[in-house]
Structure 1
Amino acid sequence: MLSKSSFPLLLLNMFLAMLGTGLVIPILPDLLKEFGAGGQAAGYLVSCFGLTQFLFSPLAGNLSDKYGRRPIIVTGLALFAVSNLLAAAANGLPLLFVSRLIGGVGSAALVPAIMAYVADITTDEERSKAMSWLGASMSSGFIIGPGVGGFLAELGLKAPFYASACIGVLAMLCSLKMLPESLSPQIRRIRQQTKVERKSVFRELALSVKSRYFILLLIVFATTFGLTHFEAIFPLFVVRGYGFTTRDIAILITVCSLVGTFNQVVLTNWITRRFGEKRVISAMLLLSAVSLVFLLFSGHFLYVMLVTMLFFTFNNILRPTLNTMLSKEAGEEQGFVAGMSNAYMSLGNIFGPALAGILFDIHIDLPYLFGAVVLLASSIVAVRWIGRKGSGVSANMDQSTGI
C-alpha cells in the first residue's frame, strides 16, 4: 500500500459510519414506547437513513473524484456527529427522523469516499485483502451497532447517541490532522476543469442497469436487503417470539458480530483464492437464505446464537468479495462506482426495514421467509449471470481466479 498509516484510520471511519446505522435498533422498542409510536415506525426509522444515503451517494462519489477523498470523508464524519447529537436531543419522532436523514447524508459522503480511497492506495494484488478488511469494518460496525446501543442504553436511553457523536467528532479531528489526500493535485485540477453533464441519481441508477457491473450492483442491493430485513425487526422478533430481554439481544448480536468478523478476516481471502469470486458469492447468498429459515425453528438462546453467527459470517464474507469485483470493474471510475454501490446498498436499507415492519405486523415469521426468498433468487442470478461470456466481470474474474 502507498499509505499504510492511513489505512487503519479508514477502517475506523467506515466502522463508525456503519455503527450509526445499527445503533438505534435495540433501543427502538423503548424509544417508540416513549414517543407513543407503533411498530411500523421502527421499520420507517431505519429506512429513512437509507433514503438520504441513496439520494446523495452518487453525488458524493463524483465530488470525491473531483475534489479529493479527504474533504468528503471529513464532511461525512461531521454530519455523522450532528445526526447523533440531534437524536440525543429529540423529544419526539419528528426530530428523530430528521437526525436519521442527516445521518444518511453523512454515510453517503463517507462510504464511497473511503472505498475509492482504498482503491487509490492499493495495487490489484493488495486490493482483495484491503477490501476484506474494509468489509470487516463495515459489517462489524453495522452488526455491532445494536449490541453497543443495547449496552449503553443501560446508562440512559440517549447515551448511545451521545457516545457515538463524541467518537464521530474525534474521528473527524483525527482525519483532519492525520489523513493525507490520495488524489494528486494534478488529477483533481484536471477533473475540476472537465465539464461533465450532471445526471440525477435516478438517471444514473437507470444507466447503471446497462453497465457491465449491474449484476454485481443488484447483488449488493439483495445482500443489504437481506441483512437489514433480518436486523430491523430482530429485537421485536426475539422478544415477541422467544421472550428475549434487551440484554440478551445485546449479548447475542455483539458475540455473533465479533465471531462473524473474525471468520471474515481469516477466511475471505483464502476462500476466494480457492474457489473464485463467483462461487463464493453464489454460495454465501444461498447459505444466508438457509440460515434465515433456520432461525424460525427454535427459540433456544444458544441455537439462535449459532444461526445468527452463521448468518453474519456468510454476509461478512460476501460483502468484501462483491466490493473487490466492483473495484476491478470500475477502472478509472472508482468514485462513481463506489457511489453507485452505496446507492444500491441504500436501496436495500430503505426497502428492507420498511417491508420487514409491514410483514411483521401480518405474521412474525414472514420477514425472514421473504428475506430468504430474495437471497435465494439472488444466488440463482449469481450462478446464471456472473461470468457470462463477453462480460467485463467474467474477464476480470477469470484472470484473477484462473477459472
Structure 2
Amino acid sequence: MDNEINILRRPLILTSLPLGVMSFLLPIYSKELGMNAVEITGLFSILSLVLIIARPIIGKLTDKFGRKPILITSCILFAASYITFSIAITSALIYIARIFQGIATATMTISTYSIISDTTKEKDLSKSFGSINSYKSTGYLYGCVVASIILSFMSFTKGWKMLFMIFFIAAIYSLIEVIKNIPESKKIVKVKYDINKKMSPNTIKLLIIVFATCISSSILGPIFMIYMQDKFTNNILLLAYAFFPSLIAESVLSRRIGSFSDKFGYKHSMILGMLICAAISIITPRANSLSILAVLWVISTLGGVLYGVSEKNIYTGVIDNSCVGVMYSIYSIVCDFGVMIGPLIGGILYENVSPKAPFYLSGFLMAIVSILILILIRNNFNTSSDSM
C-alpha cells in the first residue's frame, strides 16, 4: 500500500503548488486587471460550478477507462490552467484558466481517491487519505515559500507571471512522473451496475453528514480574509506567514493523524475532529494577535484533517467496487453544493449581522454535525459497510 500511495507524492505536490496562495493572490491580480467585485467573486463561484458539472462525467470515465488516463488528463489540465494564468491580461483569460483549474481539480481528486480505494486495505484507509492531505499541504507550503521569494523582489504583476510560469513547468514535470511511474490500479469488474441500487441508506445518511459539514466549514470562506485584514493588517504576506504553521503541521502530521483514526475508530475520530473545529471557530473572534491566530489555525487544521480522513474512510467502506469513480464523484458533488451554500450564508451574516456571527454559526453547525454523526452512524465503523 505504502508504495502505491508514495508514488502519488510528486504529482500531488507539483500540481498543488499554487493552490495555497490562490485565495490571497487571485483577487489582487484580478483587481490589477480592472475587474470589478462581481467579476472577482465570480471567479470563485465558477470553480464550484465547474466541479459540480464535471464530477459526474469524470467519475464515469474513471470507472470506464481507468485511473491513470484520468490522472494524466488532470496534470495536462493543471499545466494548461497555470500557463493561461501566466499570460492572462484579460478577465476572459482568467476565467478560462479558472475553468481549466476546476476540471483539473475534479480529475485529480476522483482519480487519486479511486487509486486509494483500489490499492489500500480497509484498516489503512485513513492513513492513506492522511498521506494525500500531507502531499497536497506540502505543495501548498512550497508554493507559498516560492511566492514569498518571488514577490519580495519583483513587482506583483511581473511576479504573478513568473510564478505561474514556474507552476506550469512543475505541472509538466508531474505529467512525466505520472506517465513513467504510476501504474493502472483499476480492478477488473465486469458486473453492470445500477447506480440507484448502490445508493444504500447508509450511503445517503453519510452524504447528509458530508453536506452539512461542507456548509458549516465553508461559511468562513469568503469573509475570513476580510475579517483578518479588518482586525489585524492589510499586509497579505504577513497574513500568509501566519498561515504557514498550519500548512507545516498538516504536511507533517496528516499521515500520523490518519493512523490515529485507523486505531481510534472512524466514528469517534469524526466526532472529535468536528468538535475541535467547532471550538476553534467559536474562539477565533476572541484572538487578539496574529500569533494566537496562527496557533488556532494549526489546531483547527489538524481537527479538520482528523475529521476528513475518517469521513472518507467510512464512505469508501460503503461504496461498491464496481462504481468507485462514480460514487466518489457523487461524494464530491455533495461537497461542492455545500461549499456553494456556506459562503453565501457567511457573507450575508458578515454584512448584515456582525463580523463575528459567521464564526459562531459555523461552530454551532459543526456541533450539530457531531450530533448527526452520533445518531446516523450507529456503530464505530472500522471495517464493514454494515456497521452504520
TM class, shorter-length: 0.7 to 0.9
Aligned counterpart in structure 1 of residue 360 of structure 2, from 369, 394, 398: 369
5 Å-filtered alignment, 1:106-117, equals 106-117=104-115
Contact 1:88 1:159 in 2 (8 A): yes
- The answer to whether structure 1 residue 328 and structure 2 residue 335 are counterparts is no
Counterpart in the other structure of 1:299: 288
Q: Within 2, Cα distance between the matches of 1:143 and 1:44?
A: 26
Could you give the per-residue CA deviations for residues 124-162 of structure 1, whole angstroms, max 9, x where no partner exists? 233332222123334555687667655544441334332
- The answer to whether structure 1 residue 279 and structure 2 residue 279 are counterparts is no
5 Å-filtered alignment, 1:239-250, equals 239-250=229-240
Could you give the per-residue CA deviations for residues 285-317 of structure 1, whole angstroms, max 9, x where no partner exists? 122122112111123121111111111111111
Q: Within 1, Cα distance between the matches of 2:375 and 2:294?
A: 33
**Shift in CA distance, 230/399, structure 1 to aligned 2, threshold 3 Å:** same
Q: Within 2, Cα distance between the matches of 1:322 and 1:136?
A: 16
Using the TM superposition, name which of 98-107 and 4-13 deviates more.
4-13
Counterpart in the other structure of 1:36: 34
Contact 2:75 2:172 in 1 (8 A): yes
5 Å-filtered alignment, 1:2-401, equals 4-16=2-14, 19-39=17-37, 41-138=39-136, 141=139, 149=147, 152-154=150-152, 155=154, 156-183=159-186, 187=188, 190=190, 211-274=201-264, 276-332=265-321, 333-362=323-352, 363-387=354-378, 394=379, 396-397=381-382
Q: Which runs of 5+ in 2 are unaligned?
A: none
Contact 2:11 2:177 in 1 (8 A): no
Q: Within 2, Cα distance between the matches of 1:376 and 1:294?
A: 14
**Shift in CA distance, 296/38, structure 1 to aligned 2, threshold 3 Å:** farther
Report the RMSD for the aligned CA atoms in angstroms: 3.2
Contact 1:220 1:344 in 2 (8 A): yes
C-alpha deviation, 1:272, in angstroms: 4.4
**3-state SS, counterpart of residue 276 of structure 2:** helix
C-alpha deviation, 1:51, in angstroms: 1.6
**Shift in CA distance, 290/44, structure 1 to aligned 2, threshold 3 Å:** farther
Contact 1:52 1:105 in 2 (8 A): yes
2:269 counterpart letter in structure 1: V
1:372 counterpart letter in structure 2: G
Q: Within 2, Cα distance between the matches of 1:144 and 1:240?
A: 27
Contact 1:24 1:149 in 2 (8 A): no
1:286 counterpart letter in structure 2: L
Could you state the TM-score of these two structures normalised by the residue count of structure 2? 0.85
**3-state SS, counterpart of residue 157 of structure 1:** helix
1:324 counterpart letter in structure 2: N
Counterpart in the other structure of 1:391: none
Contact 2:209 2:369 in 1 (8 A): yes
Using the TM superposition, name which of 368-377 and 102-111 deviates more.
368-377
Could you state the TM-score of these two structures normalised by the residue count of structure 1? 0.82
Contact 1:25 1:146 in 2 (8 A): no
C-alpha deviation, 1:93, in angstroms: 2.8
Could you give the per-residue CA deviations for residues 88-129 of structure 1, whole angstroms, max 9, x where no partner exists? 222233321221122111111111111111111122233332
**3-state SS, counterpart of residue 202 of structure 2:** coil
Q: Which runs of 5+ in 1 are unaligned?
A: 388-393
Q: Within 1, Cα distance between the matches of 2:40 and 2:139?
A: 20
Using the TM superposition, name which of 378-387 and 356-365 deviates more.
356-365
Q: Within 2, Cα distance between the matches of 1:286 and 1:153?
A: 38
Q: Within 1, Cα distance between the matches of 2:48 and 2:145?
A: 20
Contact 2:126 2:261 in 1 (8 A): no
C-alpha deviation, 1:359, in angstroms: 4.2
**3-state SS, counterpart of residue 84 of structure 1:** helix
Contact 1:19 1:141 in 2 (8 A): yes
Contact 2:266 2:382 in 1 (8 A): yes
Q: Percent identity?
A: 19
Contact 2:67 2:115 in 1 (8 A): yes
